[in-house]
Amino acid sequence: MKFLDLAKVYIRSGGGGAGCVSFRREKFIEYGGPDGGDGGNGGDVWAEAVEGLNTLIDFRYQQHFFAKSGQHGMGSQMTGRSGDDIVLRVPVGTEILEEDEETVIADLTEPGARVLLARGGNGGWGNLHFKSSTNRAPRNANPGQPGIERTIWLRLKLIADAGLVGLPNAGKSTFLAAVSNARPKIADYPFTTLHPNLGVVGVDGREFVMADIPGLIEGASEGRGLGDQFLGHVERSNVLLHLVDGTAEDVAGDARTILTELAAYSPVLMEKPRITALNKIDALDDDTIAERKAALETEIGGTVHLMSGVAKLGVTEVLRALWTEIAPTRVTDEDQPDAPWQP
């Protein structure tokens, strides 16, 4: 299945049915009077977050969603049938934006969350509604209200506990494949990863979700490389894992590049807890490892973990460090307060 995280959609709610002008005409009924029914209401357009989806690919093949209009009213006081609603089923974590791609209509972060995007038009009144003591035979009825037509954008931001960031070929996909059942494409050239990947990671009997995004390069915030189009997928993460290629000549410069791009994209990313790891230590000798670790710690001003995704060295320690940051955000059943007793 192809990955798609941005889609433009055209929606329109149903129009209301027109009211009916009708009079009761039956044999032996001298004063029948008006009996025109009301028109039915138009269908609404909703968006609902559902589990089991992780891409917006369905909206590449269908971009137009029009709800049914209500039926017109009929004689004998019969109201027209209301139009059927349309529900856009989107993955959990989908943002719904106005046509300007900036104004957020809704952010569906919970399964089952729903939002009304366009309300259907009300049905018009039939002439029965206009009957009064001074107007016994009204010959007018209301038309139904038109539906609402609008253009919206759907933008998916994957929901993961931890997000992987780093330069291309820093070993992010290799690490994700080593610690989970995810099978991202792995090769020895830059930008092997072209779309985000999710994996469920386990450590010490605990599980959490990790997201791997395509690598960043200098100037990504200005659109270079794959740009910053995928950074939104780690924006919801509780902690970031910054992988630095230990075989690079300037590990401090590489780390500085990533931190600069994160800051240029959003201050929110810079405020998140961050675990930094020097990767590919299996290809280095002890002196080189010590030298580059010291340079990296000086650059970031914090602790640097040593690991190798291929050889699985130090991987458990890194996962435990990630879980330390994730654990406070988890609310277990034991932490939930007892519900008040109700008769």
Per-residue pLDDT, 1 = 44
Q: Is 185 annotated as a binding residue?
A: no
Q: Is 129 annotated as a binding residue?
A: no
**Lowest pLDDT segment from 13-27, 199-213, 294-308, 326-340:** 326-340
Average pLDDT over residues 104-112: 89
Q: Is 122 annotated as a binding residue?
A: no
Per-residue pLDDT, 228 = 59
Per-residue pLDDT for 150 more than 60?
A: yes
292-335 residue pLDDT tens: 889 888 888 888 889 888 888 888 898 998 888 888 877 643 44
Joined together, the tokens standing for residue 61 give 């093949």
Q: Is 279 annotated as a binding residue?
A: yes
Average pLDDT over residues 66-76: 92
Q: Which CATH superfamily is domain 162-329 in?
A: P-loop containing nucleotide triphosphate hydrolases (3.40.50.300)
Which region, left, alpha or beta, applies to residue 93 given φ > 0 means left and ψ of -120 to 50 means alpha?
left
**Distance of alpha carbon 96 from alpha carbon 61, whole angstroms:** 18
pTM comes to 0.72
Beta strands in the chain (DSSP E): 6-12, 45-50, 64-66, 86-91, 94-97, 104-108, 114-118, 149-156, 162-165, 197-203, 206-212, 239-245, 274-279, 304-306
Joined together, the tokens standing for residue 97 give 């934006």
Q: Is 194 annotated as a binding residue?
A: yes
Per-residue pLDDT for 185 more than 70?
A: no
79-98 residue pLDDT tens: 999 999 999 999 888 889 99
Q: Is 282 annotated as a binding residue?
A: yes
Confidence label for 214 from pLDDT (cuts 50, 70 and 90): confident
**Distance of alpha carbon 58 from alpha carbon 48, whole angstroms:** 14
Q: Is 309 annotated as a binding residue?
A: yes
Per-residue pLDDT, 197 = 73
Confidence label for 217 from pLDDT (cuts 50, 70 and 90): low
Q: Is 280 annotated as a binding residue?
A: yes
Q: Is 215 annotated as a binding residue?
A: yes
**Distance of alpha carbon 181 from alpha carbon 186, whole angstroms:** 14
Q: Is 167 annotated as a binding residue?
A: yes
Q: Is 195 annotated as a binding residue?
A: yes
Confidence label for 221 from pLDDT (cuts 50, 70 and 90): low
Q: Is 326 annotated as a binding residue?
A: no
Per-residue pLDDT for 164 more than 50?
A: yes
Q: Where are the domains of the chain?
A: 1-156, 162-329
Q: Is 252 annotated as a binding residue?
A: no
Per-residue pLDDT, 213 = 76
Q: Is 212 annotated as a binding residue?
A: yes
**Where do we find the tokens 């934006």?**
97
Q: Is 240 annotated as a binding residue?
A: no
Q: Which CATH superfamily is domain 1-156 in?
A: GTP1/OBG domain (2.70.210.12)
**Distance of alpha carbon 123 from alpha carbon 121, whole angstroms:** 6
Q: Is 103 annotated as a binding residue?
A: no
Q: Is 308 annotated as a binding residue?
A: yes
Q: With CA atoms as reference, report the closest residue to 206 among 323, 334, 335.
A: 323
Per-residue pLDDT, 143 = 92
> Do 1-156 and 162-329 share a fold?
no
**Distance of alpha carbon 109 from alpha carbon 185, whole angstroms:** 28
**Lowest pLDDT segment from 16-20, 137-141, 189-193, 244-248:** 189-193
Q: Is 213 annotated as a binding residue?
A: yes
pLDDT mean across residues, the chain: 83
**Where do we find the tokens 């290799």?**
174
**Burial 41-64, CB ≥16 within 10 A → b, else e:** bbbbbbbebeeebbbbeebeeeee
